[in-house]
Amino acid sequence: MPSLKDLKNRIDSVKNTRKITKAMQMVAAAKLRRAQEAAEAARPYAERMDAVLGNLARSAAGSPTAPLLLRGTGRDDVHLLIVATAERGLCGGFNSSIVKLARIHAQKLLDAGKTVKILTIGKKGRDQLRRDWSKHFVGHVDMSEVKKLGYTNAHDVADDVLARFTAEEFDVATIFYSEFQSVMTQVPTALQLIPAKFDGAAADDTAPNYEYEPSEEEILADLLPRSVATQIFRALLENAASEQGARMSAMDNASRNASEMIDKLTIQYNRSRQAAITTELIEIIAGAEAL
């Protein structure tokens, strides 16, 4: 049975831990507000670009002069998986849920006889995948020095991906990230970047037909690389908001668990203290009766 001193030290230790988790929760809450605003502000732009490109792609579909980013290489053999996670932990299952989705997707591709290449963004994803999937790694993007996420960061990643595509290193590229819905809910998501793929809702069948100058193919050739960068930027922004939401939730749970542990240890401490006092009183009374 632990001594009173040991119990007191444990209570003080858990109280200090609770102070840290509460402080981290407050910091995450402040960062979440900014990250959520940035993610929500990027959604309309990305969705509108997706709609415009969807309509253009519908017009250019099947054309032999359509941009390579739209029609693809004509093969489905080599897949590049871009796994975007955080640089830090202590955010619940945020990183592991993205990695899990990427692993499932990669395993299905391997089972189908495809070649898998992995590009990681963020330390945690790389660390979790390194043990079993390191032979599939083709690159890593370090975001540890990035204080404020900007379009330039996404543009650099897009340039790397597009250069690999131009060099015929892969046929299909898919990015894995977590879409922010609320503090409690972040949804692991897989989005195909290359060849460009648009939702059925994006291509508006009721939209009027326009004659483009220059042609649809030329406009697509200019916009599709920007679309890749935009989608990567949106994924990184969604990840940033999801990370802070997950961290806020995780630190809140940790603080609650610490409070419960403090209550249990305090009860145990009080009982041990009462038992010690009772024992001392019995000894004193016994000694007095002996006299």
Mean pLDDT on 70-83:
91
Of 14, 56, 69, 91, which is the active-site residue? 91
Instruction: Give percent of the chain with pLDDT exceeding 70.
Output: 92
Of residues 237 and 285, more confidence is placed in 237
Tell me the pairing of strands 172-180 and 137-141: unpaired
Indicate whether 229 pLDDT > 50: yes
Domain regions of the chain by residue span: 22-250
What is the largest distance, in Å, between two alpha-carbon atoms of the chain? 114
Q: Tell me whether residue 282 is one of the annotated catalytic residues.
A: no
Alpha carbon 213 to chain centroid, angstroms: 40
Identify the pLDDT of residue 201: 45
**pLDDT band for position 29 (cuts 50, 70, 90):** very high
Distance CA 210, CA 55 (A): 10
Task: Name the pTM for this structure.
Answer: 0.84
User: Highest mean pLDDT: which of 54-63, 147-156, 270-279?
Assistant: 147-156
Identify the pLDDT of residue 54: 80
Distance CA 147, CA 23 (A): 19
Q: Which CATH number fits domain 22-250: 3.90.1300.10, 3.40.1380.10, 3.40.50.300, 3.20.20.70?
A: 3.40.1380.10
Mean pLDDT on 106-132:
94
Mean residue pLDDT across the chain: 87
Which H or E run contains 2?
none
